[in-house]
Each structure stands twice: as C-alpha cells, then as structure tokens.
Amino acid sequence: MAPHRRSRPPSPMGIRTPAIATAALTSVALLSQTANASPSEEPRPSLEEVEKKVGDLYRQAETASEKYNAAKEKTTKQKKRVDTLLDDVARRTEKLNDAREELGTFAAAQYRTGAAAPDTASLLLADNPQDYFDQTHLMDRLTSRQKQSVDDYVTQQTATTEKRQEASESLETLTRTQSSLKTSKADVQRKLATARDLLSKLTTEEKARLAAIERQKQEEAQRKADELARQQAADAERRRQEAAQGTGTSTGAGSASGTSGSGSAASTAKADKALAFARAQVGKPYVWGASGPGSYDCSGLTQAAWKAAGVTLPRTTWDQVKAGTTVSVNSAQPGDLVFFYDDISHVGIYIGDGMMIHAPKPGAYVREESIYYMPIHSVVRPA
C-alpha cells in the first residue's frame, strides 16, 4: 500500500494567486524595460527659455569679447615693450663686451710686465664688479685710462643686468596676458557654440515664433525711440522760442535732427565725421574682436568711427565709457556713445531720433536700431 501523502495546504490567497502572478510579471517587465531604456533626456526647454538663454549667452560672449579686446590691446603694448627692452639689452651687452675686451687688454699687458694681472682677471670674472672694487686696492694700481675703462665696464654691467631683469619680468607679464587672451577667446567660442546649438534644435515653427518675438521687441523699442524724438524736438523748439524772446539759456541738448544747442562747431564737425564713417559701415558683419575695415564688434566700430574724426578712443567699452562727458539720454546728440547693460558690455553711436548705429551680435550686421532695444547704462560725449 502506498504511503499516505499529506495534501498540500491551500494558498492563503486562494483563487487570487493568478492575478498576483500576472501583476508581478507585468511589474518585472516594466522594470526590465526601464532598465534597458536609454537614460531619460532633459526636458525640452520652452521657446521663451531658449530665447532668454540665447540672449544671455550672446551677452556673456560680448563681455568675454571685451575681455579679449583688453587682453589683446595689453598684449600688443607689452610685446612692443619687451621688444624694446630686448633691443636695449642687446646694445648694452655689446658695449659690455667692448669694455670687457679693453679690460682684457690691460690684464694681458699687466701680465707681461708682471703687474697685478690676477686682480684684473678677477675683476673680469667677478659677479659683482662694484663689490670687488670695494674689497681691493686695484684702482690704486691703474692708470687714469684704465680707471675710465673699469668705470665704463662697471656701469655697462650694472645697466645690462638691470635691463635683463626688466626684460625678464616683462616677458613673464606678457606670458600671463597671452594666457588670459587665450582664455577669453575660448570663453567666447564656447558660449557662441552653445547658442548656435540651442538655435539649431528649434523647429521651423519655433523659429517663426522666435522671429515674431524679436519683431515685437523691435517695435516696442522703436515706439520708445519715436517718443524720445518727439520730446527732443519739443525741447529744441522751446529753446528756440526762449532764445528769440531773450529768455532762458541753452542747455546744449541735441534736437531730434541732431542740432546742438551749445556744442562748438569743431565738436559738431567731428561728430559728423564719426557718423559718416559709421553709416558707411552699415551692412558689414559683426565679428567679435574685430575693429575693421571688413568687420567689427561693438567697441571696434565706435573706436574706428571716432578715429575717422581724429579722436582716439580706447579699445574696450569699459574704457570708452570714461573717455568723455556723461550726459542724460534726453540730451543725447548725434555722435554720442550709448552704453548698455549694467556691466557696460555693449556700445553704439547715437544718430538722433532715439536711434543708433551699432554692431549688434554674432550672426548680425552693423545696422541702425533704437537705443531702447537694450537697457541703457549711460550716454557719453567724446568731443
């Protein structure tokens, strides 16, 4: 007889076991799919976020461009200084060698006569000839001509040593500035590449919407420019009436057409030349770090425009903002420099009627635009 088999105890969940098993299998499958799936991508930014990000990147790139311009200008000056110092060291070294040869001649003569040749030879080998003289009585044994040769030698060696040290320090400074130049250049390129990448991912519809946002921004800026033009025209008319009646004084504020209230004929002529140059550059591409003649960045354009008028401006926006007299926006005259943003990273040249000529940003061209397209920092009159 077969042994008695104990029956298997029923599942505590009874008939629900298949449902649980199915749910478990489904969970395992979902987990497996999740594990095998590629890492989740970051959420796609909205068009507004892209527009703001690209704008910020262009601004940051322009700030980095101004740092690049400053480093480049400093590098150029330092290189000229290093070249001058090295040329000076070479000339002094040649004179030092001549003085050494003359002392060598005296040493040879002393040796032939049995005089104090070792003393003179020691002088030629001494690291510091002046210390050597302080410790010996060599000068007492030299003729007046020999003494003059020794003096010349000491003077030349001291001067040459100082110039070599100065040249070495200038070379170290130049190396640091060149490193800063490379860093600023890389920073600009990195930010511009990021901006291009963001824009390249936009769909055709998104690009159209972005263009619409830009048009709205331009229209609002133009509305403010027209408002400023009307206000400047009204101020100019009021001043003319006061002048005709013999009351009031000219404030020097420019009219909408650019007529100066108190500016001298010479300064107006310079401003006209600067504006004529700037207008001739309209349509040329913005290239960061460029100062003409085929392309410009913002401060490169303003510098070149005023150079055409015979006025030398510094290279960067941060220095140009200090190169003149600050005036109010309402008093802006054609030729004035208009600076933008809290970090003074952009500049344009005012042409009247609330408008300016400027080199806007990468991918754009020198153009006329409302000064209200960007937040205004200050207005400066160079001449």
Closest CA to 334 of 251, 269, 250: 269
Nearest in space to 299 (alpha carbons), one of 357, 370, 359, 355: 359
Return d(Cα 256, Cα 237) in angstroms, integer.
10
Q: DSSP 3-state helix, strand, coil percentages of the chain (rounded to 5)?
A: 65, 10, 25
* Residue from 4, 137, 358, 377 carrying the catalytic annotation: 358
The Cα-based distances of 242 to 201, 261, 262, 344 in angstroms read 59, 12, 14, 37
Is the C-alpha dihedral spanning 212, 214, 218, 220 positive or negative? positive
- DSSP run (H or E) holding 169: helix 144-200
CA distance 339 to 70: 17
| Closest among 65, 49, 72 to 360, alpha carbons compared | 65
Q: Do 254 and 352 touch, CB atoms closer than 8 A?
A: yes
**One-letter amino acid of 87:** D
Name the burial class of residue 86, with classes exposed (0-12), middle (13-18) and buried (19+) by CB atoms within 10 angstroms of its CB.
middle
Identify the active-site residue in 4, 137, 346, 377: 346
DSSP annotation of 304 reads H
Assess whether 377 carries a catalytic annotation.
no
Q: What is the DSSP letter of 33?
A: H
Residue with tokens 């990147």: 57
The span from the CA of 95 to the CA of 330, in Å, is 64
Residues designated catalytic: 298, 346, 358
